[in-house]
Amino acid sequence: MKSKICLTGIKPTGTPHLGNYIGSIKPALSLAKKENHQSFYFIADYHALINNHDKSMLEEQIYEVAASWLALGLDSEKTTLYQQSDIPEILELNWILSCFAGKGLLNRAHAYKAATDKNKQSHKDCDSGVSMGLFCYPVLMAADILFISSDIVPVGADQVQHIEIARDIAQTFNHTYGETLSIPESFVQKEAALVPGLDGRKMSKSYNNHIPLFLPEKKLRKLIMKIPTDSTPPETPKDPEQSNVFKLYQTLANPNQLNEQREKYQNGISWGEAKQELYELINKDLAPARERYADLMNNKKIIREILREGAERVRPKAQNLLQEVKERIGLKLK
């Protein structure tokens, strides 16, 4: 049986947070353990270049994302971990695919749409501050996914539109030249689709409402204690579904813990206690990885070596697919 190819990427734009872990890293790591699954996880550094023009910060954040994957359990023998910019074939494919991507399709992509909507609201030119990198973001993402014939792409719900765009581009290509590109499926875990941030909106580095994964214990506790709550007295029953503290608890708890916690809310729990329990749950889950993360960040040579080996494994696959694509479109003269 042909094995399924799983692929996902994370932008190096800061230490990954709980939303990245629950929405993307954790499901990706469990897919990687499945039989008949080959996994390829990468650091989307060219995507990060859209916003990050600070050389040393970008470098550091590439290390941070790689170290996070490894600390959280990625086995680099089984899963190929690599840096996007080490695979130049992705950029060749990016150009080819851009010739199959309707501009209208990209006009509707959510990052571009959000930028133009914001400009319109403040009466600026709609494309003010928008780079071609931001506009073409989904095409590069399609190249990331299609160059390796990905079957499954584990992501948070916010990325589903991008996978749909990749599917659309691949189908247009196949329609023109015959079956060449595999059509990927997004893999979104319902309960992990959207992890709320400290303020209740989607957890995101760009909203600065995130829980970074490897904060020292004390800082982690302090951050969790700051989650805004109302002034309901401790003994008053609380609706868990209305509480951000509970929603965060839900992302890591097992069914038993969840039932117990639900009961406590219904019987009345103080917010301080509820937050303490959330802190303990997160801390217990992340403490072992925190140590491995610190070791790796003190030993960057190991990270460089793993990324180099990853690129060596992936590049021949990229070269093969590109060769086939070029033959299909008539660029390889015979």
Q: Does 61 bind ligand ADP (CB under 6 A)?
A: no
Q: Which of 10, 62, 96, 220 binds ligand ADP (CB under 6 A)?
A: 10
Strand partners, 5: 38
The item of ligand TRP, ligand ADP, none sharing an interface with residue 153, based on CB under 5 to 8 Å by kind, is ligand TRP
- The pattern of x and - marking residues 147 through 166 that bind ligand TRP according to CB under 6 A reads ------x-x---x--x----
The item of ligand TRP, ligand ADP, none sharing an interface with residue 206, based on CB under 5 to 8 Å by kind, is ligand ADP
- The pattern of x and - marking residues 195 through 234 that bind ligand ADP according to CB under 6 A reads x------xxxxx----------------------------
Q: Are 6 and 154 in contact (CB under 8 A)?
A: yes
Least separation in angstroms between residue 327's CB and ligand ADP is: 33
Least separation in angstroms between residue 188's CB and ligand TRP is: 11
Least separation in angstroms between residue 324's CB and ligand ADP is: 28
- Which residues, numbered 15-54, are part of the site for ligand ADP (CB under 6 A)? 19-20, 22-24
The item of ligand TRP, ligand ADP, none sharing an interface with residue 13, based on CB under 5 to 8 Å by kind, is ligand ADP
Q: Does 194 bind ligand ADP (CB under 6 A)?
A: yes
Least separation in angstroms between residue 18's CB and ligand ADP is: 8
Q: Give the 3-state secondary structure of the chain.
A: CCCEEEEEEECCCCCCEHHHHHHHHHHHHHHHCCCCEEEEEEECHHHHCCCCCCHHHHHHHHHHHHHHHHHCCCCCCCEEEEEHHHCCHHHHHHHHHHCCCCHHHHHCCHHHHHHHHHHHHCCCCCCCCCCHHHHHHHHHHHHHHHCCCCCEEECCHHHHHHHHHHHHHHHHHHHHHCCCCCCCEEECCHHHCCCECCCCCECCHHHCCCCECCCCHHHHHHHHHCCCCCCCCCCCCCCHHHCHHHHHHHCCCCHHHHHHHHHHHHHCCCHHHHHHHHHHHHHHHHHHHHHHHHHHHCCHHHHHHHHHHHHHHHHHHHHHHHHHHHHHHCCCCC
- By rule CB under 6 A, what count of residues binds ligand ADP? 20
| CB-closest chain residue to ligand TRP | 9
Identity at 128, one-letter amino acid code: S
Q: Does 101 bind ligand TRP (CB under 6 A)?
A: no
Catalytic residues: 120, 202, 205
- Which residues, numbered 103-142, are part of the site for ligand TRP (CB under 6 A)? 141
- Which residues, numbered 17-46, are part of the site for ligand TRP (CB under 6 A)? 44
Residue ranges binding ligand TRP (CB under 6 A): 7-11, 44, 47, 141, 144-145, 153, 155, 159, 162
